[in-house]
Amino acid sequence: MRPFLRQGAAILAVLLLAGCLSSPPTDDHNLPYRLETQRQAQGADQRVRFLVIHYTAEDFHNALNTLTDEHVSAHYLIPAHPPLEEGKPVAWQLVPESLRAWHAGASGWRGRTNLNDTSVGIELENRGYSAHLLGKKFYPYPPAQIELLASLSRQIIARYQIEPRNVVGHSDIAPQRKDDPGPLFPWQEMAKRGIGAWPDAPRVQANLAGRDPHQPVDAQRLLEKLGKYGYQLTDNMTDKQQRRVIAAFQMHFRPADYRGVADAESDAIISALLAQYPDKQ
C-alpha cells in the first residue's frame, strides 16, 4: 500500500473509532452534544422490582373509564372474558411499563414505600366482593382471564427479573385499606407456573411439628416474621390493624381461613416462606 493510502486508512480508522465512541444514542445527528456510552456504571439496577395484582371491583367498561382518567391508572387491564383477535386473547395496555402508573397508592413492601415508583400494576376485571351478614362474598376469576394473566406476568417477570416474593396483591402492600385480589385469586396455581411464591407443603408440615393448625401463637412474633417477609408494620399498631396484616397474609397463602387470627398454621407457612425465599435485597 502506498504511504499516503496507508496514512488515509489510518485516519479513517481513527475517525470511525471516534464515531463509535461519541455517537449519540439516537439517529438524530442534529443534537448540540454527543454522549460517550462505552463505560457503563455498575451501580444501577432495574426500576421495576414488583408486580402488583388488583381487581377492579367494577365491570370492564366502568373500569376502563376509571383507569384512563386523571386520578388512577394501571399498566394493564385484563377483561374477565378476554376477546380474541386472530386467535389471541387481548389485554389492554393503558400505561407503558417505562412510565409510572397510579395503582398502588399509599403502600409498602420489604422496606420500600410508594410502590407506584417501582412496580407494574395489573388490574383484573372482577366484582371484588359483596357484603353479607356473615361477611364478604368474593367472586372467582374465569380460567381464560387467569391464563392471559399468567402469560403476561411471565413476560414482565422475565423482563425485570422480579423475585417470587415481589409478586404481590394490593392487599399485601396496603393491608389496612385493600382486599384485592382477594382469597379466591389462584396464587398457588400461579406459583406452579413460575409466578410468585408459595410455601412448600412438606416444609409447612415439618414446621407445624404436630401442633394443631388452629393453635394460637404469639401475635407479635408472627408479625415480626411477616415484617421480615415484606409486610409493612408500623409502631403502636392497634389489634385491628394487626389482624388486617395477618388477614392479608392469610388471604394470599392460607385462603381457607383469613380471619386474621395468629395461629400455628400461619406461623408454619411464614417460616417456610422465609426459608424458601431468603432476602436478596
Residues designated catalytic: 123
Angle at 131 between CA 127 and CA 136, to 5 degrees: 80
Task: Determine the 3-state secondary structure of 12 from DSSP.
Answer: helix
Q: Which three cell numbers stand for residue 77?
A: 387491564
Q: How far apart are CA 72 and CA 104, in angstroms?
A: 9
C-alpha pair distances (Å), 54 with each of 36, 98, 232? 42, 19, 18
| Residue appearing with cell numbers 376485571 | 125
DSSP output for 175-222? TTT--TT-TTS-HHHHHHTTSS----HHHHHHHHTT--TT-B--HHHH
Q: Which three cell numbers stand for residue 166?
A: 415481589
Give yes or no for a contact between 138 and 73, defined as CB atoms under 8 angstroms apart: no
